[in-house]
Structure 1
Amino acid sequence: MTIKSAQQLVQEAYTEVKTINTDEALTLVKENKCNLIDIRDVRELEKEGRVENSIHIPRGMLEFWIDPNSQYFKEGKLDLDKEMVLFCAAGARSALAAKALQDMGFEKVSHVEGGFGAIKQSNFKIV
């Protein structure tokens, strides 16, 4: 039995999902063309802060909260017609999460290169 490493899965996800930089993400937010989704753990948000106007969906609940047919669907939390722009701390989890959304059938999905670390160094407002 051969299993793929987490790093292999992340590398595959990087080749299959759209990666955008912080400037591109900020433009999408300012133009109201996306849902900016923070998939970090709640403890990370408490420790590091959160991005203004982002929506927190923990990685472990993403597929359930975003699926309209799930009992956990968060009605009105997201605009499912807009691009889903995901970020985590550094970019690996968000790449995997973006791939999962693509696998669900979402077509407008991307993740922020460098994650929250890059976002903190950009023009996003951290609250």
Structure 2
Amino acid sequence: MRKLKITAAEMVARARARITEFETPDLIKRVDDPKTVIVDIRDVRERQRAGFIPGAFHAPRGMLEFWVDPDSPYFKEIFARQDGDGKTFVLHCASGWRSALSAATLSDMGFEVSHLREGFSTWEAQGGPVEHVKS
């Protein structure tokens, strides 16, 4: 098998070296803060299976860059930034890998964002509220 120039783990490590990371207890304290926008980039099936952070905005990773870009026909108003609005955007996935890569990409685009270091995997165990899809 041909070796890659860079592994996925190396990409995540490089992304983490240049983005802001939230620890789970710190984000739990901000879950009800209207200036903190938690963005869940997991697949819809992951959200259905494991639950989700109440109030988190769901933005599938595959559409994230397009939803954030005001010049994109797919732009979502929740990502509108105003000077001095004080909003903190925090991405999360299941384990913090996809959200680290996504936060680095959005930072490259000029969108200020951080991510949840350990992802949703430790959220409930550390006392974070979880909502489940009602069937």
Above 0.5 in TM-score?
A: yes
> Aligned partner of 2:37: which letter?
N
Query: Alignment RMSD, CA only?
Result: 1.7
Instruction: Decide whether aligned partners of structure 1 residues 4 and 111 sit closer, same or farther in structure 2, where only a CA change above 3 A counts.
Output: same
Runs of 4+ in structure 1 over 3 Å off = none
Is residue 113 from structure 1 mapped to residue 124 from structure 2 by the alignment? no
What SS is found at the alignment partner of 1:123?
A: coil
Instruction: Decide whether aligned partners of structure 1 residues 122 and 4 sit closer, same or farther in structure 2, where only a CA change above 3 A counts.
Output: same
**1:121 positional shift:** 1.4
Is residue 96 from structure 1 mapped to residue 101 from structure 2 by the alignment? yes
Is residue 44 from structure 1 mapped to residue 46 from structure 2 by the alignment? yes
Indicate the structure (1 or 2) with the bigger Cα radius of gyration. 2
CA contact (8 A) 1:35 1:78 kept: no
Aligned residues: 125
Residue segments in structure 2 that go unaligned for 5+ positions in a row? none
**Structure whose residues are more often helix by fraction:** 1
- Which of 77, 88, 102 aligns to 1:83? It is 88
Q: Which moved more, 1:115-124 or 1:57-66?
A: 115-124
> Aligned partner of 1:43: which letter?
R
Residue segments in structure 1 that go unaligned for 5+ positions in a row? none
What SS is found at the alignment partner of 1:30?
A: coil
What SS is found at the alignment partner of 2:90?
A: strand
The separation in 2 between residues aligned to 1:28 and 1:106, in whole angstroms, is: 20
Q: Which residue of 2 aligns with 1:29?
A: 31
Q: Which residue of 2 aligns with 1:126?
A: 130
> Aligned partner of 1:89: which letter?
A
The separation in 1 between residues aligned to 2:36 and 2:71, in whole angstroms, is: 21
CA deviations over 1:10-57 (Å, ceiling 9, x no partner): 010111111111222123333322210000011101111111010000
Normalising by the residue count of structure 2, what TM-score does the alignment of the two structures yield?
Answer: 0.84
